[in-house]
Structure 1
Amino acid sequence: MKKITIFLIISTAFVAFLTFFFKENKGVTKEEFRTMIDNHPMQERLKLSKSERKKSGIPPNRYFDDQYLLEMNPATGKTNPENIQAIIEEERSSNFLGGSARSPGEDTETAWVDRGPNNIGGRTRVVFYDPNDINGTRVFAGGVSGGLWVNDDISNASSSWTQVGIDENLAITCFAIDPNDSNTWYVGTGEAYTHNDGTGNGAWYTTDGGNTWSVLWSINLNQGRGRRPYFFNEIVAWDNNGTTEVFFSLDGWLDYNHVGFNASGWYKMENGNINQIEFDVDGDTRAYVFSDVEIAADNSLWCATKKNRWSTGGGEIYRTTDGENFTQKYSLTGGDRVELSASKTNPNLVYALVEEGNSTGVRIVKTTDGENFTVLPEPADADTGIDADHFTRGQAFYNLMVEVDPTNDNIVYVGGIDLFRSDNGGFSWNQISKWSNNNNLANLNVSLVHADHHALVFDPSDSNKGIFANDGGVYYSSNLSSASSSETAIVAKNNNYNITQFYSGAIGPDPENEILLGGAQDNGSLYVGNATSGTNSFSKIFTGDGVATFIDKEEEYLIVSFVYNVYESYLLPITANSESIPIRFDTSRGSFANIADLDDNLDILYVNGSSDGTYRVSRFTDLTSGNAGAGSFANSNFIDSEPTAIKVSPYTTGSTTLFVGSATGSIAKIENADDDSFGSNTLTYTNIDVNGIINTGSISSIELGENEDEILVTLHNYGVNNIYYTSDGGTNWAVKDGDFADIPVKAIMMNPMDDDEVIIGTNYGVWQTDNFTDDNPEWVHSQNGMSSVKVTSFELREADNTVLASTYGRGLFTSTFTADSDLSIDQNELSNNSIIIYPTVSKDGFFNLKTTAENYTTSVEIYDLQGVKVYAVQNLELETSSDKEIKLEVSSGLYIMKIYSGNKVLKSQKVIIQ
């Protein structure tokens, strides 16, 4: 027996400081970086088909494989998620409170507002009843990227969830409750089953029944050669003769170019230290990785394994009476992940689901004497798309659940894609849920429940009641015994449980008739019209993985998408009879979560259309006709690697000026991109990344300021400068990282009223600066009302400077830019955000103005881009009860509308005449 001591908190302030401020840049050229990308081991994985990925135990969702290549340090070929941990340590030590500027999320006045969805959950692996609740209805749940939540009455149809604690890491994956103190609980972070999707940073505990949480074990992500994140598979709080002993199962995955962690394995907390326990199994002393641990009726521990960092040790079951000495009870040659459930009445009765090698199936086994295991039949899913002998559909490494009724050993439940129940000890099965009404499922009289099941917990006082956790959130049954013949036995309980993972978001231009739209992982394209001011219920209008989404600025149509190049449109407003209009169905081009941008002046959609090593931009026209036109253009001198950011200029309205950023840091400005001929004589290419001034890396976003010369650019990568700015169209660039940490940046936006105020969306929330024009801007967290969650996109509604942020794990949020404090008006005057201008794109020159506060007298001036005043009106009466219409009789183009209080600008708004 070998024990390796790791201190309770192993990160030091000095290491955190160095990691926080140091950015590695070893001068890798674009050509060298392209070679690194093309020859990276990840590319072999990306070539695998969906079925091949499943057989290799790799999630079919390729998003995080692509993200790895986008985010890797160009000097090392690896990512550095440990840098986020360094930020966490820095903020802990400085009692971080945030900044004082007036950008979205920076104070209570501009706090981010959760917009939903409040009716759609997300991937959940943790659910448990509060042991201290006298009513037995208070439940906690943990989202894999959405944090820990509580519902005070799960049995009440109108009850809702509230987020609690543990904001700095939202990847909640396991829990334990102290058997000798019902107020002491533990949770672990990090989901190993999807690799980099839910990255953990340690374990947390509460001593007051979940009201407040503290760090128990902060993982040093630099520890060992692997430098990879750690994942907590299990936490066990075990009663050893009245003394609680706490065990942890840590997991990891193999890194590229070197061995993975040396710290995966089984741990025990002792005297303020956490000690790794390595045990000898047939002469093999390597640390085994437990995927599941159950406490038997005699207080022994049953431990199930999954493959370790050497790809061995899976498919096995052990038993221990002290947590340190183990006896093997079962082994399946070539097996991988095992999930098990131990009887609460018979110490020797255990059910187990064993993933067979290469995901060829799941073996269900059972022992009644603790020694000999019997193979049980698998349930056959009614879905004709699922093999009869493989109810997990090739994903046992991911969706695998088994639980035995605590009062009746013959009643057992298993879950994969759907749920099944046996009343005779697993010798026959009844299906009790369906994920859709496809094929044979349509005639099955059971409840519609989201696919991919992870957990089941029984009501402590009535085992006929239970709660399921799956990729769709939380589901509740008050009558499990009727589930095989009832469409209402299992119901969704996701009211305000907003842990949705969005790739993108879009907001309509009219504040009075707010439309919100988002593309969500595994939850399709989600839509709400006439949104209320807070959280909203959304409708799924397009299925699968929703990716890029757009709302036409005239609110005539919207666009939704699936992975690669699958796009459809809807005419607005959407009604119960609305049908989607196909634009393109092409899964052979582009990337998994493909990038795109809409020119809604000309109604043209531009997307990444690369394939087979040819880097191109594809263009779709006639977006609402049902017969969309298509074309593409490629120029290896300017689009020299896969496009990773596309931005349509709003300033060129008679044609399309397009900015395209690449995986190797190049930026091309393409004029006349709308030309039908796609000829080299009509499309004008300009490389605005002059002399490679932008560091090698992958462009994540391109945004424009007040004109086409003012450009803001961000990069995905670790180890590079991530934020760039030019005011002269790319001739001269300035690095704007300042004191910002070395972590990926996904989105950027400038305050339309103050070019010193800029926000960025990152892998660790929203950050803000109010001195962007300085040589070294100071960046602070700007996420009041939100969370430390990955932010994937920003979109600005120009009418009232509202910003929509999409997040990967906490849904959609809005906040507003406000005027600089030096330009603030008297309290009796209106703030700029109460003045509404709509539409912002007009075909006839008519614009409406109104106020949402009190009646108000103002003046309006409108300028063209050369600064010439083309319209002015004095003493304009704005009212709350009616709109004030103005007519701008000028040629088509972009103009700046300014609304004044005396000589102070209350609002500056870009408007377009088509």
Structure 2
Amino acid sequence: MKKLTFLSSFLLLFIGLNAQNSLVKNVPFTNIGPSIMSGRIVDVAVNPNNPNEFYAAYASGGLWYTKNNGTSFISVTENAPTQNMGAIAVDWNKGTIWVGTGESNSSRSSYSGIGILKSTDKGNTWQNVGLKASQHIGRIIINKNNPNEVVVGVIGNLYTPNTERGIFKTTDGGKTWNSTLFINENTGIIDISASPNNPNILYAASWERNRKAWNFEGNGKGSAIYKSIDAGSTWIKITDEKSGFPTGSGVGRIGLATFNSEVIYALLDNQFMRPEKEKKKTAGLQKDDFKKMSKDQFLELDDASLNTYLKENRFDKKYTAKYVKASIIKDKIKPSDLATYLEDANFVLLNSEVIGAEVYKSIDGGETWNKTHQDYLDGVYSSYGYYFGVIAVNTSNENKIYIGGVPLLKSDDGGQTFTAIGKENVHSDHQAIWVNANSEGHLINGNDGGLNITYDDGENWTKNNSPAVGQFYYINVDNQKPYNVYGGLQDNGVWFGPSNYKASKRWESSGDYPYKSIGGGDGMQVQIDNRDNNVVYSGSQFGYYYRVNLKTDDYLSIHPKHELGDSPYRYNWQTPILLSNHNQDILYMGANKLLRSMDKGENFEVISGDLTTGGKKGNVPYGTLTSISESPFKFGYIYVGSDDGYINLTENSGANWTRISDNLPQGLWVSRVIASEHEKDRVYVTLNGYRNDDFKPYIFVSENKGTIWKSLISNLPNYPINVIKEDPTDENILYVGTDNEVYVTFNRGETWQLFSNGLPKVAVHDLVIQKEAKDLVIGTHGRSIYKANIAALQEFNKIKGKPVSIFEIPSIKHSSRWGTSWSKWSKPIEPSVTIPFYVSNSGEYTVEILAEDNSKLNSFLINADKGFNYFDFNISTSEKSLKSYFNKKDIKIEKAKNNIYYLPKGKYVIKINDVKKTFEVK
């Protein structure tokens, strides 16, 4: 039996107290989108009696509810301790919601969870009811005859072995749990499917997987199908060598769909290799042709054929047949180098000719299985089957099934043949499918781009992306007014838009969405030329970047290649780039070596050796640079960090390098290295252990270029750190983004304060400060982009000893329309100005609005918390004040149509206690 432990209860209490006592808990954050490009959906739960009502779970963006068929959504996990979703289930009779936290997809950005959350009030409050060490959850099944009986499939840790995986069952609504199926420490449960006509019959898919930072094995002998006939209390394995279903080391992820107690479909990621005779044949020279080719054989090759090979495989333009043959003659290179030139870590993953997706069917309750189709389902999975696995069946039509991979496919004949049903407004990566058994052709599809709905079996789809749930890897800002925000999104390209964006559907009338796309793929880092904000550098995964002029559309592809004969560069998934502050023509780019272009990305030179541990053999690039920072004090004074824990420094543009990380924890991902803009020899580093299932925070500072390091974690909770940023005005102020929260320190890490007003518990990948606007901009991996003005925070160390301080109050432009409306059917226009202030003690305070001669025009009694506070003043005054002050000034003002008197143009004083501050109505 597993019960809520005292330790976990204490942890939740500590987090709550931390937020409650934070000096910055009232600092308001605003979401500035975008929503048009959404985030990855992992599950949907639909009311069977009213399909207009359903929940959509986003991988790292929380749970959202709609009762109007996706026209609009509300977040129901705003108050939850995490936004990381794995699986959901709803008892529609009682309204109880079950959430399995931690995404089951084994992606690079699949965040772990904290167990099972339960809400009995439609998401207003949440209770953690156990399985806290499960990390990633594949499926939840509620017994329709007994809603207190719930079965959970736990896939378990992503990067390390653990025992809290398999199948768990509760019969008392989550008070206690029993482990009913455990296979081994590397095998969990990815899917469970219940018989629609008998809830005692369940089928479960186990999945053995082993992910490391440098390699992913998404298959193993532990992958199989199990069956229970007692509602999940006991299980038997039903796929063996006699069953007809594949077994052994090549069995990967399995998705399940049950038509009834006897008929069940399974979608398999078959990682066994195709027979040699069935491998795809390609015309022309192939990579493997060169591996055993002699020098003489190479020189006899037809130049046209060789040029075709070089061009199709994207060799550098200088490598022509003539150039290469000359190099062969001089023994500068070998024929085999034309093969190894292409063999980076990605090559193994992308070019392995595995069997791929297969659909199997059983009509005897899982005793025997038959593959439904004869041909290969090419292009459904390729080698990325671990990322997919969803299959659905129409429970009113045994032969109507749907499978999701890179395309979305349907079959009307039980899987013998398939047709694609994705359309131009549907994302290509599919993670969830709901089929309406009572209305032929009605589907709800969750994918990497959000949610789509069809009523005609995929002929036409609506796009239902109103929540701002983008998964940003990186953001940046320009210096325009208002400034723009740029960012790279998981599987949704690179976008930019105005910082004053407010969510609205007005763009659907104009056809002009405020955010614009400037690239596809998995959007990555962005640099903007500060001399011309139209010139932007960005790109997609593994170092495929570009320079684009947003005004002229001039475009330059950027992907530096190694020299023929050398080992391929290793590029991280999120390859770091940096424009030099000293010269915006200079672009740095990190592979396993540091590359530099002096001409805006046209040409690159290598300015280092390998700055990593050297990589490891695997199918994921590893031993790569992850962060670059150049000191604002000196050109060529550069720090770089790597995914395997190295930090190196050059003070002379790469002529010499020094490793400065030997005294830091080893083997961790360097998530950020920052050269201080306040002190030349000061450097900040954050390390991240997420890829070792190590969730501790690591933050260090050195005052002497890395000779001595000091830890700054202080009172931070156990969340991995993704980013640290210095405040540009006060060297004592630092900001950090973690996998769950954002913090600020006013004393360089001695104590940290938690931001929480308007910010859900979500992974934060990036932080940027727009210096002129004094805005902190937050790029989250699940809830798009937020911003908050930090002008008041930048004054903290000047006023922290004072009882009350009022900060600069923005002026407001007077309007004769205040209090009026366009018609009697619309709301009146109501002005407001925010008064930011700080108090050293919580309590009641009087806010007075005074004229220049200290005449009182209005007053308010408010409660203020210790720390920063924000009072919204509606620019109103009273009739009594009018008579006592404005009549003396011979200023005639009238009551607005909403029966409120508003202040006329002029200068006014805000007073809190004895502290005063002037603001103006212009």
TM-score by length of 1: 0.67
Flag the 1:622–1:405 CA change in 2: closer, same or farther, 3 A.
same
Among 632, 635, 655, the residue aligned to 2:606: 632
1:263 corresponds in structure 2 to 164
Say whether the 8 Å CA contact 2:155–2:207 is kept in structure 1: no
Q: Structure 1 pair 479/758, CA: closer, same or farther in 2 (3 Å)?
A: same
The residue that corresponds to 1:57 in the other structure is none
Counterpart of 1:360?
A: 355
Offset at residue 524 of structure 1 (A): 1.8
The aligned residue for residue 728 of structure 2 is 752
Quote how far apart the aligned CAs of 1:148 are. Answer: 0.9
Change (3 A) 1:302 1:529: same
What is the Cα deviation at residue 202 of structure 1? 0.5
Q: State the 1:329 CA deviation.
A: 5.0
Q: Tell me what 1:176 maps to.
A: 89
How far the C-alpha of 1:313 sits from its partner, in A, is 4.1
Residue identity opposite 2:597 in structure 1: F
Number of aligned residue pairs: 686
Verify: 1:493 aligned to 2:464, yes or no: yes
* Residue in structure 2 matched with residue 771 of structure 1 by the alignment: 747
**Cα pair 2:697 2:720 within 8 Å, conserved:** no
In structure 2, how many angstroms separate the alpha carbons of the residues matched to 1:804 and 1:817?
Answer: 10
Distance 1:114 1:388, change over 3 A: same
Separation (CA, whole Å) in 2 of partners of 1:155 and 1:638 = 47
Deviations 1:141-175 (A, max 9, x none): 1111111112342354xx35545346322221212
Q: 2:454 aligns with which of 470, 477, 496?
A: 477
SS of residue matched to 1:230:
coil
Say whether 1:618 aligns with 2:604.
no
Aligned residue type for 1:351? Y
Q: 1:313 to 1:509 in 2, by over 3 A?
A: same
**Which residue, out of 3, 6, 19, partners 2:2?**
6
Task: Kindly state the Cα deviation for residue 203 of structure 1 after the two structures are TM-superposed.
Answer: 0.7
CA spacing shift, 1:475–1:665, aligned 2, 3 Å = closer
- Whether the aligned pair in 2 keeps the contact of 1:138 and 1:152 (CA below 8 Å) is yes
In the aligned structure 1, how far is the partner of 2:182 from the partner of 2:760?
43
Q: 1:662: Cα distance to partner?
A: 5.3
Equivalent positions of 1:732-811 (< 5 A) are: 734-741=710-717, 743-772=719-748, 777-811=750-784
**Residues of 1 paired with 2:33 and 2:91: CA distance?**
34
> Counterpart in 1 of 2:865?
none
- Over the aligned positions, Cα root-mean-square deviation in angstroms equals 4.0
- 1:598 equivalent in structure 2: 579
Pair 1:588 & 2:569 matched: yes
Q: Secondary structure at the match of 2:116?
A: strand
1:687-721 superposed Cα distances (whole Å, 9 cap, x missing partner): 777xx665656542214233534543333356988
Kindly provide the amino acid, as one letter, of the partner of residue 590 in structure 1: Y
Say yes or no: does 1:114 pair with 2:31. Answer: yes
- The one of 367, 387, 391 aligned to 1:402: 391
Inter-CA distance 263–199: structure 2 relative to 1 (3 Å threshold): same
**One-letter amino acid matched to 2:406:** I
% of aligned pairs identical?
Answer: 21
CA distance in 1, matches of 2:13, 2:82: 12
Is residue 246 from structure 1 mapped to residue 150 from structure 2 by the alignment? yes
Cα distance, 1:301–1:631 mapped onto 2, change above 3 Å: same
- Secondary structure of the 1:564 match is helix
Aligned residue in 2 for 1:659? 639
In the superposition, relative to structure 1, how do residues 417 and 823 fare at CA in structure 2: closer, same or farther (>3 Å)? same
> Cα offset for 1:834?
10
Structure 2 gap segments, 5+ residues each? 211-219, 273-353, 505-512, 562-567, 615-622, 814-830, 834-914, 918-922
Aligned residue among 164, 167, 173 for 2:77: 164
Separation (CA, whole Å) in 2 of partners of 1:639 and 1:415: 39
Cα deviation, 1:788-828, whole Å, max 9, x if unaligned, reads 22222222211122222222222222222223257579999
Report the counterpart of residue 350 of structure 2 in structure 1.
none
Task: Look up the match of 1:503.
Answer: 473
Whole-angstrom distance in 1 between the partners of 2:182 and 2:664: 53
Distance change (3 Å), C-alpha of 1:813 and 1:780 = same
* Corresponding residue for residue 253 of structure 2: 337
Name the residue aligned to 2:680. Answer: 708
Deviates more, 1:413-422 or 1:741-750: 741-750
- The answer to whether residue 369 in structure 2 is matched with residue 468 in structure 1 is no
Measured at CA, do residues 364 and 589 of structure 1 come closer, stay the same or move farther in structure 2, by a change above 3 Å?
Answer: closer
Matches within 5 A, 1:266-305: 266-271=167-172, 273-278=175-180, 289=189, 291-305=191-205
Give the Cα–Cα distance (whole angstroms) in 2 for the partners of residues 782 and 285 of structure 1.
37
Instruction: Provide closer, same or farther for how the CA distance between residues 605 and 320 of structure 1 changes in structure 2, counting only shifts above 3 A.
Output: farther
Q: 2:518 aligns with which of 541, 554, 570?
A: 541
Q: Is the 8 A contact 2:357 2:385 kept in 1?
A: yes
Structure 1 residue matching 2:415: 3-state secondary structure: coil
**Once the 2 structures are TM-superposed, how far is the Cα of residue 528 of structure 1 from its aligned partner?**
2.5
- Report the Cα distance in structure 2 between the residues aligned to 1:499 and 1:193, rounded to whole angstroms: 17
Cα distance in 1 for partners of 2:739, 2:646 equals 22
- What's the offset of the Cα at 1:401? 2.0
Go from structure 1 to structure 2 and tell me whether the alpha carbon gap of 1:369 and 1:339 turns closer, same or farther (over 3 Å shift): same
The answer on whether the counterparts of 1:234 and 1:248 sit within 8 Å (CA) in structure 2 is yes
Q: Equivalent residue of 1:201, what SS?
A: coil
Shift in CA distance, 665/286, structure 1 to aligned 2, threshold 3 Å: closer
Distance (whole Å) between structure 2 residues aligned to residue 178 and residue 790 of structure 1: 29
1:201 aligned to which of 86, 107, 114 = 114
Q: Secondary structure at the match of 2:15?
A: helix
Query: Closer, same or farther in 2 for the Cα pair 1:398/1:609, shift >3 Å?
Result: closer
1:30 alignment partner in structure 2 = none
1:120–1:495 Cα contact (<8 Å) kept: no
2:535 alignment partner in structure 1:
557
Classify 1:360/1:705 alpha carbon distance in 2 versus 1 (closer, same or farther; 3 Å): same
Offset at residue 608 of structure 1 (A): 5.0
Deviation track 1:243-265 (CA, whole Å, cap 9, x = no partner) reads 64111111225755xxx222322
> Which runs of 5 or more residues in structure 1 are unaligned?
18-85, 222-228, 381-386, 434-445, 836-851, 855-903, 907-914
**AA matched with 1:147:** G
From the CA coordinates, give the structure whose radius of gyration is larger: 2
What's the offset of the Cα at 1:596?
Answer: 2.5
Q: Which amino acid aligns with 1:174?
A: A
Deviation at 1:317? 4.5
Contact 2:42 2:59 in 1 (8 A): yes
Answer whether contact 1:379 1:420 (CA < 8 A) is retained: no
Change (3 A) 1:709 1:600: closer
Shift of 1:410: 3.2
Query: In structure 2, what is the equivalent of residue 449 of structure 1?
Result: 426
Conservation of the 8 A alpha-carbon contact between 1:455 and 1:468: yes
**Higher relative contact order, chain-length normalized (CA < 8 Å, sep 6+):** 1
Identify which of 365, 368, 378 aligns with 1:370. 365
Q: 1:111–1:461: structure 2 CA closer, same or farther, 3 Å change rule?
A: farther
SS of the aligned residue for 1:125 comes to strand
Q: How much has 1:448 moved relative to structure 2?
A: 4.3
243-252 or 663-672: bigger deviation:
663-672
Q: Secondary structure at the match of 1:409?
A: coil
Distance 1:706 1:155, change over 3 A: closer
1:646 aligned residue (628, 637, 648): 628
Match runs of 1:139-154 below 5 Å:
139-154=54-69
Quote the offset at 1:120 in angstroms. Answer: 0.9
Contact 1:125 1:144 in 2 (8 A): yes
The aligned counterpart of 1:216 is: 129
Residue 559 of structure 1 contacts residue 570 of structure 1 at CA under 8 Å; is this kept in 2? yes
Q: 1:771: how far off?
A: 2.5
Asked if 1:236 is matched to 2:141, the reply is yes
Q: For 2:811 and 2:684, locate their aligned partners in 1 and report how far apart those are by CA, in whole Å.
A: 24
Per mean C-alpha deviation after superposition, the further-off stretch among 322-331 and 208-217 is: 322-331
CA contact (8 A) 1:639 1:660 kept: no
1:432 lines up with 2:409 in the alignment: no
The equivalent residue for 2:488 is 519
1:627-646 deviation digits (Å, cap 9, x = unpaired): x1211212689999864431
**In structure 2, C-alpha distance between the alignment counterparts of 1:582 and 1:685, rounded to whole Å:** 29
